[in-house]
Structure 1
Amino acid sequence: MKLKVVLEPSEEGGYTVYVPALPGCISEGETKEEALKNIREAIELYLEPLEDDRLEHPYAEVAEIAL
């Protein structure tokens, strides 16, 4: 899965990063690399309940579409 993220310099230093497609999915880091690492973890945690829902519905499928 590919998601676009927005990486912005913070006024206090470091970077804030968020995922427009996942409301409320935001993280930060001292460097760009750290911020991107942290947002990957935040995305995994954000999507975890979706995986749990899929386990409750064993016939459900996940599909990827291009827009």
Structure 2
Amino acid sequence: MRYAVVIERAGDNFSAYVPDLPGCIATAPTPEAVESEIREAIRFHIDGLRADGEPVPEPTSRAEYVDA
């Protein structure tokens, strides 16, 4: 599955979250590191849902850049 991920600067770190997986977040000191961490968090989150017998949400969110 391919999920949209939002990466934001958070003070001296970066944070990431997955809109389609509430509670799935990560933080790291660089954008590259947070991308790696959120990949791991997504796998961990999905494994936890499956272990609990919960459905895994389908990816529905999209991200686009818009010129203003």
Confirm or deny a common fold (TM above 0.5).
yes
Specify which structure has the higher proportion of helix.
1
Query: Cα deviations across residues 5-59 of structure 1 (Å, max 9, x unaligned)?
Result: 0000012x12000000000000011100000000000000000034444xxxxxx
CA RMSD of aligned residues (A): 2.5
Structure with the greater alpha carbon radius of gyration? 1
Larger RCO, structure (CA 8 Å, separation 6 or more): 2
Q: Normalized against structure 1, the TM-score is what?
A: 0.72
CA contact (8 A) 2:15 2:34 kept: yes
User: Structure 1 regions of 5+ residues with no counterpart?
Assistant: 54-63
TM-score (norm 2): 0.71
2:37 and 2:19 map into 1 onto residues whose CA distance is: 16
Count of aligned pairs between the two proteins: 58
